[in-house]
C-alpha cells in the first residue's frame, strides 16, 4: 500500500512525473503508428519550447542588454538597436523589402569578419600540427613509439588521399584516380564512425527515457549501477 | 499463391516487433544487477588529467548548452565533471548559450553543489542565458563584467565573491563545453590561448572533434554517456553513465544482430532467386 501511495500522483512532485510519463508515452506512440495523440503532444512540445524561450530572451537579453542600459544607465544610443534589428521584418513587404537588406548586409558583414578570424584560429593550428607530425623515429623525437609513427603515417596518407578526392580542378586519371578512390573509402569509414556514434547517441536518449519510466515513475531499483 | 520462404518472412518482419524487442532488451539490462567495467579511452583520461592539474581556487568556465532533448547524454557528463571540480575545490561559473539550458543546468548544479556543501556566489555562479556565443566570447575576452553584467539571480557579477578580481576570460584556467551542438570551434577560435579547453559532446558530435584533439586545440573529451561511464569509473562513483551503460552495450549487440540477420536474409533471398531464374 505504501508503494501505491507513493506511486499515485498525490503530490506536486509525483504529478510532475506522471505528466512527464504521459508526454513520453504519447511521443513514443508514433513507433506504433501515426496518431492524433502523438501529433497533439508534438505540437505542444514545439509550442512549449518556443514559448519557454521567450522568458530567457525577455529577461536575459532584452532587459539585461537593452532596457536596463537605456533606462537605468542612460545609454540612449542603444535605443536604435532593436528597431534597427526589426527592420528585418520588412522582408515580408513587397514595397519596402529593400529595407531588410540593410540589416542583412550588416549581419553578413559582421559574420564575415568574425569567421575570417575563426578560419585562422581553427584551421591553421591543425595544419601546423599535421606538418609537424614525425614520420620516423630519430634523435629529434626519442619518445616516439612504432605505434605512434604508424598512426602518423596513416594520418598523413588518409589526409592526402581525401584531399585528392576533393580535387575537382582536372579530370582524375591513373594513379591520381586510384588515390582518390582510396580517399573516398577513408571518407566512408569516417562517415561510418559518425553513424555508429549517432546510433549510440540515439540509444542513450531512448535509454534515458526508459530509465525515467522505470526509476522515477515505477520507482524500480535500476540495478545496472 | 506461393508460400513465402523463411528469408522473405524475415525481410518482411514488422518493424514494431523489432522496437518491442529493443524495448524489452533495454528494460532487462537496466534492471539486471550487472556492472560492466569500462576501459578508459585516452580522451577521457586526458580530460581527467587536465582537471587533476587544477589547484584549489582556480576558476573554470562551464559552457552548458544542452536542453531536455539530450539530457541522457549531457547530464551524466556534467554531473561527473562537477563532482570532480568540487573534489579539487576549484571555483566555477556557468554560461548557457541555449535558453532551456539556463534552468536545466542551474537546477542540476544547485542539486549537486548542495550535496557537496558548495556555496553559490562564493564558490560557483551561473551567468544565465547569454546569446550568440561568438559575440559573448569576444565580449568576455575584452571585459567579462560588462558583457555578462548579472548572474541568473539578477546580482551584478562584480558583487559576487567568486568573481572578485576577474576582469576577463584570461583570468580563467579552463573552459568545459558541455553541448550537443557545434559550439567548441567557437571556444577554440575566440577564447584566450592560455585557456585549456575540454569538451563534453553528445556521441553524434564526437567523431568530428578528434581533429581538435589531435592538434591539441582541445585537451580532453568525454563522449556521451559512454564517456561519462568511463569518467565515473575514474572518479570511483556510480552515476547515470554507469547505470545506462549495460543497456547501451546490449542494445548495440541487438542492433548488430538485427543488421547481420537482415543482410544474411537478403543475401539468401538473392541466391534463391538467382537459382530459380
CATH code for the structural domain at B42-237? 3.40.50.10160
CA distance B164 to B171: 11
Give tens-digit pLDDT for B89-108. Answer: 999 999 998 888 999 999 99
Q: Do A156 and A213 lie in a common domain?
A: yes
Q: What is the pTM (predicted TM-score) of this model?
A: 0.90
Cβ–Cβ below 8 Å for A208 and B206: no
pLDDT for B34: 80
Pick from B21, B129, B230, B242 the residue to mutate for testing the A interface (most A CBs within 10 Å). B129
The boundaries of the domain holding residue A17 are 1-74
Q: Where are the domains of chain B?
A: 6-35+247-276, 42-237
- State whether residue A129 sits within 8 Å of chain B by CB: yes
Cβ–Cβ below 8 Å for A211 and B243: yes
Q: Do A166 and A183 lie in a common domain?
A: yes
Min Cα distance A112 → chain B (Å) is 12
Cβ–Cβ below 8 Å for B70 and A205: yes
Q: Do A209 and A160 lie in a common domain?
A: yes
- State whether residue A113 sits within 8 Å of chain B by CB: no
Answer with the one of A74, A98, A117 that is the final residue of a domain: A74
User: Looking at the 3D structure of chain A, how many domains does it have?
Assistant: 3
Residues of chain A with pLDDT under 70: 223-225
Give tens-digit pLDDT for A176-219. Answer: 999 999 999 999 999 998 999 999 999 999 999 999 999 999 99
- Sheet of B124-129: strand order equals B124-129, B91-96, B59-64, B174-179, B196-201, B220-221
- State whether residue A37 sits within 8 Å of chain B by CB: no
Residues of chain B with pLDDT under 50: none
Residues of A in contact with B202 (CB under 8 A): 201
ipTM: 0.87
Residue from the list B34, B149, B207 with its beta carbon closest to the beta carbon of A193: B207
Q: Is B124 helix (H, G, I), strand (E, B) or coil?
A: strand
Q: Mention every residue, 6+ apart, whose C-beta is less than 8 A from residue B48.
A: B84, B220, B231, B234
pLDDT for A27: 95
pLDDT for A225: 46
Considering the domain boundaries, does residue A67 fall inside one? yes
H/E element, A166: none
The β-bridge partners of B179 are B201
- Among A122, A83, A121, smallest CA distance to A99 is for A83
CA distance A86 to A96: 13
Q: Which residue of B has its CA nearest to A194?
A: B207
Considering the domain boundaries, does residue A223 fall inside one? no
Q: Do A204 and A157 lie in a common domain?
A: yes
pLDDT for B259: 94
Q: Do A155 and A110 lie in a common domain?
A: no
Q: Which residue of A has its CA nearest to B137?
A: A114
Q: Do A119 and A156 lie in a common domain?
A: no
Q: Do A155 and A198 lie in a common domain?
A: yes
Amino acid at each position: 500500500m505504501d508503494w501505491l501511495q507513493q506511486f499515485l500522483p498525490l503530490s506536486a512532485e509525483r504529478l510532475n512525473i506522471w505528466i512527464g510519463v504521459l508526454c513520453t508515452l504519447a511521443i513514443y506512440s508514433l513507433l506504433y503508428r501515426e496518431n492524433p495523440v502523438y501529433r497533439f503532444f508534438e505540437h505542444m512540445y514545439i509550442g512549449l519550447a518556443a514559448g519557454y524561450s521567450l522568458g530567457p530572451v525577455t529577461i536575459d537579453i532584452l532587459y539585461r542588454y537593452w532596457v536596463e542600459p537605456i533606462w537605468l544607465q542612460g545609454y540612449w544610443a542603444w535605443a536604435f538597436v532593436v528597431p534597427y534589428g526589426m527592420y528585418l521584418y520588412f522582408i515580408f513587404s513587397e514595397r519596402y523589402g529593400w529595407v531588410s537588406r540593410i540589416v542583412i548586409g550588416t549581419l553578413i558583414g559582421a559574420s564575415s569578419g568574425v569567421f575570417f578570424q575563426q578560419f585562422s584560429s581553427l584551421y591553421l593550428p591543425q595544419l601546423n600540427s599535421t606538418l609537424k607530425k614525425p614520420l620516423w623515429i630519430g634523435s629529434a623525437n626519442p619518445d616516439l613509439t612504432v605505434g605512434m609513427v604508424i598512426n602518423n603515417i596513416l594520418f598523413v596518407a588518409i589526409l592526402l588521399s581525401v584531399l585528392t578526392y576533393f580535387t575537382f580542378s582536372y579530370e582524375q586519371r591513373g594513379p591520381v584516380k586510384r588515390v582518390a578512390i582510396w580517399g573516398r573509402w577513408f571518407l566512408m569509414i569516417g562517415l561510418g564512425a559518425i553513424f555508429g556514434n549517432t546510433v549510440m547517441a540515439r540509444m542513450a536518449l531512448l535509454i534515458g527515457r526508459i530509465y525515467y519510466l522505470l526509476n522515477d515513475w515505477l520507482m524500480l531499483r535500476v540495478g545496472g549501477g | 499463391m506461393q508460400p513465402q520462404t523463411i528469408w522473405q518472412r524475415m525481410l518482411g518482419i514488422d518493424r514494431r516487433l523489432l522496437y518491442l524487442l529493443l524495448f524489452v532488451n533495454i528494460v532487462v539490462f537496466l534492471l539486471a544487477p550487472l556492472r560492466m567495467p569500462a576501459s578508459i579511452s585516452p580522451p577521457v583520461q586526458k580530460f581527467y588529467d587536465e582537471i587533476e592539474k587544477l589547484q584549489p581556487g582556480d576558476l573554470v568556465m562551464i559552457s552548458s548548452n544542452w536542453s531536455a532533448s539530450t539530457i541522457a547524454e549531457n547530464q551524466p557528463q556534467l554531473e561527473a565533471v562537477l563532482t570532480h571540480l568540487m573534489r579539487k575545490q576549484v571555483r566555477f561559473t556557468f554560461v548557457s548559450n541555449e535558453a532551456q539550458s539556463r534552468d536545466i543546468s542551474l537546477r542540476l548544479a544547485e542539486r549537486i553543489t548542495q550535496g557537496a556543501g558548495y556555496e553559490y556566489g562564493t564558490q560557483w555562479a551561473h551567468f544565465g542565458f547569454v546569446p550568440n556565443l561568438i559575440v559573448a566570447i569576444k565580449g568576455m575576452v575584452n571585459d567579462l563584467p560588462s558583457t555578462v553584467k548579472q548572474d541568473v539571480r539578477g546580482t551584478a557579477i562584480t558583487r559576487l565573491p567568486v568573481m572578485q578580481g576577474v576582469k576577463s576570460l584570461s583570468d580563467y584556467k579552463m573552459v568545459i563545453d558541455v553541448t550537443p551542438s557545434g559550439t567548441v570551434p567557437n571556444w577554440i577560435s575566440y577564447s584566450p590561448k592560455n585557456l585549456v579547453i575540454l569538451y563534453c559532446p553528445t556521441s553524434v558530435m564526437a567523431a568530428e572533434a578528434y581533429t581538435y584533439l589531435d592538434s591539441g586545440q582541445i585537451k580532453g573529451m568525454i563522449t556521451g554517456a559512454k564517456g561519462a561511464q568511463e569518467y565515473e569509473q575514474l572518479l570511483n562513483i556510480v552515476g547515470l553513465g554507469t547505470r545506462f551503460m549495460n543497456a547501451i552495450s546490449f542494445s548495440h549487440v541487438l542492433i548488430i544482430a538485427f543488421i547481420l540477420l537482415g543482410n544474411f536474409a537478403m543475401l539468401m533471398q538473392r541466391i534463391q532467386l538467382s537459382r530459380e531464374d
